[in-house]
């Protein structure tokens, strides 16, 4: 299959996941968290259409890009100054394992995504088949770091990752197309850790945030309570991941 055909298939699958997430999980009166990334933007467009037809929801976006699109589409928005408790967050993911543990942050919005998901009763992930994996880690693990001393933070992270069984981890400063460092909505940088495979997601999740200067990372263990898998033919499947052992261990 050509790259273009694969992309089209992936686009259709993302659309199927976004449409299904809206239909299966969103109800009148909900306060919603909106994710970031292309699948989430598809969800926001579907949500905007539903709002135009009378659906009543309020939403808290997890990035400036998502906020701008939702605003443009007339989705009623709120900030955390107005609401602190959300019913449901719907977001995309870069990888998801059979327990529902995820790698996120490909779009660089992991910190706000984590805050929005953390304020929600329930988080549901939308994925296409290319995102489902037996073991996380082929996709780089995004680690958001404050700009001050990021080089030293990288060295500390390398030591931590090595101690956790990832010898000589490669941590790459994320850049824009012009080569300048990528900056998140919170003004931080991102280091992408190329680990290859993550055998111990729960331990890694707990340990990375101990490193001074590391603000957040893209390993979301036990966060997704369900995963909506969209397929190129427009069908979908909902996987219940609420029984994730990581979710139990975190409580």
Ligand X SMILES: O=C(CO)[C@H](O)[C@H](O)COP(=O)(O)O
**Binding residue ranges for substrate:** 36-39, 91-94, 104-107, 131
CB of 60 to ligand X, least distance (A): 16
Q: What is the arrangement of strands in the sheet containing 95-96, beginning at the earlier edge strand?
A: 95-96, 102-103, 219-220
What does the chain come to in residues? 251
Residue nearer to ligand X on the CB measure, 106 or 201: 106
Tell me the binding residues. Answer: 36-39, 91-94, 104-107, 131
Q: Is 24 a catalytic residue?
A: no
Q: Is 61 left (phi over 0), alpha (psi -120 to 50) or beta?
A: beta
d(CA 165, CA 152): 20
What residue is closest to ligand X based on CB?
37
Q: What is the DSSP string of 115-133?
A: HHHHTEEEEEEEE-GGGB-
Look up residue 194 and give its two tokens.
């190329």
Annotated catalytic residue, options 56, 72, 82, 113: 113
Choose between 15 and 39: whose C-beta lies nearer to ligand X: 39
Q: 139: phi > 0 → left, psi -120 to 50 → alpha, else beta; which?
A: beta
Cβ proximity to ligand X, 94 vs 158, nearer residue: 94
Of the two residues 39 and 244, which places its CB atom closer to ligand X in the complex? Answer: 39
CA distance 224 to 103: 11
**3-state helix vs strand vs coil in the chain, percent to 5:** 35, 25, 40
Least distance in angstroms from the C-beta of 125 to ligand X: 8
Neighbours of 74 (CB within 10 A): 11
Residues of this chain that bind ligand X (CB under 6 A):
35-40, 91-94, 104-110, 113
Catalytic residues: 113
């Amino acid at each position: 299959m050509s790259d273009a055909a694969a992309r089209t298939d992936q686009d259709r699958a993302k659309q199927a996941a976004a449409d299904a997430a809206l239909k299966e999980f969103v109800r009148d009166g909900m306060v919603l968290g909106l994710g970031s990334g292309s699948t989430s933007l598809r969800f926001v467009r579907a949500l905007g259409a539903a709002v135009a037809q009378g659906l009543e929801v309020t939403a808290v976006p997890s990035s400036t890009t998502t906020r701008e699109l939702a605003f443009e589409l007339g989705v009623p928005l709120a900030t955390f100054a107005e609401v602190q408790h959300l019913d449901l967050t719907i977001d995309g993911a870069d990888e998801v394992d059979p327990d529902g543990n995820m790698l996120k942050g490909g779009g660089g919005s992991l910190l706000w995504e984590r805050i929005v998901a953390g304020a929600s009763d329930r988080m549901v992930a939308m994925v296409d088949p290319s995102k489902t994996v037996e073991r996380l880690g082929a996709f780089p693990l995004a680690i958001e770091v404050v700009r001050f001393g990021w080089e030293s933070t990288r060295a500390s992270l390398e030591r931590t990752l090595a101690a956790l069984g990832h010898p000589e981890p490669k941590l790459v400063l994320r850049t824009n197309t012009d080569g300048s460092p990528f900056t998140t909505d919170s003004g931080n940088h991102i280091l992408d850790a190329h680990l290859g495979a993550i055998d111990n997601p729960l331990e890694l999740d707990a340990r990375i945030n101990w490193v001074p200067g590391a603000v957040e990372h893209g390993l979301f263990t036990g966060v997704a309570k369900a995963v909506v898998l969209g397929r190129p033919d427009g069908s979908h499947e909902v996987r219940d991941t609420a029984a994730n052992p990581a979710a139990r261990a975190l409580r």
